[in-house]
Structure 1
Amino acid sequence: MIQITEDRVRRSLPLLAALLTTLVLAAPAHAAPGVAVTYETIPGQGGTPLKAFVVQPTGRGAGPFPLLVLPSSWGVNDIEYVGAAAKLAYQSGYSVISYTSRGFHDSAGTIDVAGPDTIADVSRVIDWGVAHAAGDVTRVGVGGISYGAGQSLLAAAADPRIKAVAALSTWTDLARSLYPNDTVSNQAVELLLAAGRLTGRPGPVLTDAEAAYRQGRFADVLPISPPRSPATKAASIKAAVLIGNAWNDGLFPPGQVTDFFTALDAPKRLMLSPGDHATAELFGAAGLPNEIWESAGRWFDHYLKGVDNGVDREAPVRLRPNNGGAWRDYPSWRAVTTRTDTTTLTAERIGTGWPTIAESGTVLVSGALQGFLKLPTGVATPLVDRNAAAVWRGPAHPTASTVGGTPRAHLTVTTTATTTLFAYLYEVNPLGLGALITHKPVTLAGAATRTIDLDLEPTLWTVAAGNRLVLVVDTVDARYGSASRLGGGVAFGADSTLSVPRS
């Protein structure tokens, strides 16, 4: 990734401004409204210099203008949202600041993993925008993708000036995202650590967290999660919140988001669609047509500018089925599930520590293939090794049906040692070929018999007529760390069940 230096940016500003005005905005020559783009140094918390592109409307008077603050994603710099900022400034008259988060690229400081200084930076950028970018302190919105999204939610809990938020591909609970059910999401953690080292300067929190992870002490990292998780601050968020995430997000899966959304007591909207981390909204950040960013723009227009565009009367929950189809609207997340079908599972016994062809896929790649090309993570169920995996086949569906909500496996499990289980729910055709609908890991400590309720990730998925649901549970998955060792065993009791939500 090329690091943008201040001199290089200054030299390219005239060209950048021209391109934004003529190509992105495509304004006719006689039109008075336009945009002005400048590259600024903004004092963050404690005076730390933060680099930013500031995009202001022109030809609309001296302001003040509604102010949007967009912190950059993890590993990305301030150019990330310039395309979207130019559209928002030109079309709707916003003053927009797209800045590089503390510790990355051309901004100073060190990465504190959305710690107190990083969140306070959002407020300091608001201060600067009001004082120097004609921002209206009574009409402030924040938003972003990934790291910028989480910062925006945390800042909204801390700064009452923030009236609207657009959080895209956000986390709401760091521990649930990266350490689900005591199981490390290895691929996600490695990706984040590598991006942090390559594009920024890790601070003590991130350095200590990586050391603990490398030594197999990821549980020791958990204390940093609550203060950095918007889920612990939901009651303090009074701003209107729009959340857009993907069903297959490999960094921040949807279960933590749906729970947070339900807990919010403020104007809110949830949009879940096919794809992986940041894929659904990526092109919109560059200013290209994108329904997620268009929804965010309408959200800001209503809650910051008072535009009567109907967003406050539309359904709070908008979902697009993960395997294709039109958006569906619901009055709440709970309303997605209209009934639950429960199937009793037969007793099974398997060995541990041996991989099977049942897998959750690769972070960023598998979800992107699902979202862009409708290519799901697949499996040939007849080839799943029954010595290393339990396989339960449901009845064939005579007509098309929809799985909508959070599937749950209620399992009585006997382990001979600490074991990690991976549960996969597939749609399987008459030939035994399956598409992964959802999955979830869980690590069980020690040798014991226990009953667990394993909630898989929520989903909206249309099952074709003639196909069936198949649950597979094994003990190794390349995406995650596994405590399972060769030579162990797992027994599933005959009183185990699978509950499938229907929409």
Structure 2
Amino acid sequence: MRLRLLAVLVVAVLAGLTGPALPASAAATTPVRFVDIQGDGVTLKANVVAPAATGRYPAIVFPSSWGLNDLEYLAQATAFAQRGYVVVSYTPRGWWASGGEIDTAGPRDLADLSRVIDWTIANTATDPARIGAAGVSYGAGISLLGAAADRRIRAVAMMSGWTDLVYSLYGDNTRHQQSAGLLGLAADLLGNPGTDLSGKLGDFTANRNVNEVKAWARVRSPATYLDAINANRPAVLIANAWGDSFFPPNQLVDLFGRLTTPKRLELRPGDHAIAELTGIIGLDNAVWTSVRRWFDQYLGGVDTGIAAEPAVQLTPLNAAAEGYPAWPSVGSRRYGLGQIRWWDGTGLLGGAPSTGWSKTLPGDLDTVAGGGVVLLTNGVGAFTGQQPQIWLPAVDRLRAGVWAAERPSSALRIRGIPSVHLKLTGTAAQGTLVAYLYDLDLLGNAKLITHAPVSWLGTAGGSRSVDVALSATAYDLPAGHSLTLVVDTTDPLYYDANAPGSTVTVAGGSYVDVPVR
């Protein structure tokens, strides 16, 4: 109870800070009003703020994030009300004082969202033809799912959300350990997970009933309802971070490419819910600026110019922001993995894939190469501008394979989703590898560009090939730096499928494909 009260106080204090910059014509608003809304068989806690003047206004519904409540958006809700919007924020079922059990963006949550829209139309000065939904993380997913289920939602702003929950949990057949653990902890502390969520998280952790967990996750994935979203044609803004350790961005790129609605994709440095954090507490923020422009364009009847801008807005990890009409169409450069040199334990990365060599890795030992700590590592990087970094000579060559490319005379502009193809021999029936792509300078300092795990879950050992799509990235490799690949078998971010004492052998014919501009 003390923890809950402290969280309420923190959210209330942060939300009470000065809101974002407003136009000189900012309108007076009603006082924030706290209300109970009858959802699908439960009572939802909510608050409402609106323009004080009489008239009809567009409305925005904000479902709160996982572990937070309807106070989360108070600063932004007030700012939107001053711009001429009715704003209703609510706490989804199972969280804080809202009734019921957590539905994890399932059918009951979507029915609740429609009930909130019903209430908003009936009890506020809302124009029913101009309704939007927005949120961060959990609220983002509910908002996009809601646009598939309720065609009254004409515009969506999805910040740090997901489109494929199966990929978020089991990307490349590898369970995501730290992120799922934090979600479960928050549910236990601040919500009522009930038997459904507790059972699914228990199955996930124990690696049992995998097909049932995936089926449960598909029901909660916007990608499952892509046809309905396209048919309803809401204007969809997707904003996320390159280093989102809960919802890696590849899934967003895939859905964005198949959307036929008015759409915009923004990717920038950071981790889950970090890029929009300062906006939540009322400070100027690039993500929230885009959200305001998006809703003004598609709900407010104001031409903000955002519709005429390139639909894909990328802020690289170490370069200025760029715009593209679609996901960057890039060339691909193949780097073959070569023989490991005996004197330094490093192989050449580059040229055609060579054969006649192999590198055996222990299946249960980690190295200093890593993806960092969920939320913290990439989150700090968003504010400092620094990528996670290791000293490459410290990577134990008995535990990892290391391949370094020749140093180019000009910068290499990496844009897109790199992929790694590994030929393996002598593997166990099940196992895991983790691939890391680094920027290596002359002093041995290596900055992480991107990474991803891959697991194989077969019934027999032997030779096989695995392909892993690394997390989408945008990075300028400086002239004179070496593009470097590290492959090991363990990372604390993920559960691995390696048996103690097992080995994995990487063999000739392996390569990396890097998208470049």
Q: Please confirm whether the aligned pair reaches a TM-score higher than 0.5, indicating the same fold.
A: yes
Aligned residue type for 1:141: G
1:376 to 373, 384, 387: 387
Q: Secondary structure at the match of 2:50?
A: strand
- Aligned residue for 1:348? 358
Aligned residue type for 1:331: P
| Equivalent pair of 2:20/2:76 in contact (CA under 8 Å) | no
| Equivalent pair of 2:438/2:485 in contact (CA under 8 Å) | yes
- The TM-score with structure 1 as length reference comes to 0.92
Cα distance in structure 2, aligned partners of 1:143 and 1:45: 20
CA separation of 1:72 and 1:32: change in aligned 2, threshold 3 A: closer
* Structure 2: gaps (5+ residues): 339-356
| Equivalent pair of 1:377/1:435 in contact (CA under 8 Å) | yes
Cα distance in structure 1, aligned partners of 2:205 and 2:110: 27
Superposed displacement of residue 345, structure 1: 0.9
1:307 to 302, 306, 309: 302
Superposed displacement of residue 390, structure 1: 1.1
CA separation of 1:201 and 1:407: change in aligned 2, threshold 3 A: same
Alignment of 1:195-210 (within 5 A): 195-210=186-201
- Aligned residue for 1:215? 206
Alignment of 1:350-499 (within 5 A): 350=360, 351-417=362-428, 418-445=430-457, 446-499=460-513
Cα distance in structure 1, aligned partners of 2:386 and 2:21: 36
2:63 corresponds to 1:52: no
Superposed displacement of residue 24, structure 1: 3.6
Q: Secondary structure at the match of 1:45?
A: coil
| Equivalent pair of 1:112/1:204 in contact (CA under 8 Å) | no
CA separation of 1:348 and 1:29: change in aligned 2, threshold 3 A: closer
Q: Secondary structure at the match of 1:305?
A: coil
| Equivalent pair of 2:94/2:192 in contact (CA under 8 Å) | yes
Superposed displacement of residue 27, structure 1: 9.1
Superposed displacement of residue 207, structure 1: 1.5
Moved more, 408-417 or 64-73: 408-417
Of all paired residues, the percent bearing the same amino acid is: 43
Cα distance in structure 2, aligned partners of 1:309 and 1:30: 16
Cα distance in structure 1, aligned partners of 2:295 and 2:169: 30
How many correspondences in the alignment? 488
Superposed displacement of residue 497, structure 1: 1.1
- Aligned residue for 2:138? 147
- Aligned residue for 1:230? 222
2:126 to 125, 130, 135: 135
Superposed displacement of residue 30, structure 1: 12
Aligned residue type for 1:74: W
| Equivalent pair of 2:27/2:84 in contact (CA under 8 Å) | no
Superposed displacement of residue 415, structure 1: 4.0
Aligned residue type for 2:180: V
Q: Secondary structure at the match of 2:406?
A: strand
Cα distance in structure 2, aligned partners of 1:198 and 1:154: 26
Q: Secondary structure at the match of 2:33?
A: strand
1:70 to 62, 72, 76: 62
CA separation of 1:134 and 1:87: change in aligned 2, threshold 3 A: same
Task: After superposition, give the CA deviation of every residue in 1:454-500 in whole Å (9 maximum; x if it has no partner).
Answer: 11111001111110111111101111111113332222221111111
| Equivalent pair of 1:150/1:167 in contact (CA under 8 Å) | yes
Moved more, 226-235 or 80-89: 226-235
Aligned residue type for 1:203: G
CA separation of 1:64 and 1:258: change in aligned 2, threshold 3 A: same
CA separation of 1:349 and 1:259: change in aligned 2, threshold 3 A: same
| Equivalent pair of 1:352/1:484 in contact (CA under 8 Å) | yes
- Aligned residue for 1:280? 275
Cα distance in structure 2, aligned partners of 1:348 and 1:80: 53
Moved more, 492-501 or 151-160: 492-501
Moved more, 111-120 or 441-450: 441-450
Superposed displacement of residue 353, structure 1: 1.0
Superposed displacement of residue 360, structure 1: 0.9
Aligned residue type for 2:46: A
Moved more, 261-270 or 369-378: 369-378
CA separation of 1:32 and 1:294: change in aligned 2, threshold 3 A: closer
Moved more, 111-120 or 202-211: 202-211
Cα distance in structure 2, aligned partners of 1:269 and 1:28: 24
Aligned residue type for 1:57: P
Task: After superposition, give the CA deviation of every residue in 1:339-365 in whole Å (9 maximum; x if it has no partner).
Answer: 111011124322221111111110000
* Structure 1: gaps (5+ residues): none
Cα distance in structure 2, aligned partners of 1:76 and 1:169: 15
CA separation of 1:469 and 1:87: change in aligned 2, threshold 3 A: same
Superposed displacement of residue 375, structure 1: 2.7
Aligned residue type for 2:434: F
| Equivalent pair of 2:19/2:76 in contact (CA under 8 Å) | no
- Aligned residue for 2:149? 158
2:238 corresponds to 1:243: yes
CA RMSD of aligned residues (A): 2.4
Moved more, 131-140 or 336-345: 336-345
- Aligned residue for 1:105? 96
Task: After superposition, give the CA deviation of every residue in 1:397-419 in whole Å (9 maximum; x if it has no partner).
Answer: 21222110010112211243121
2:73 corresponds to 1:42: no
CA separation of 1:482 and 1:133: change in aligned 2, threshold 3 A: same
Superposed displacement of residue 274, structure 1: 0.4
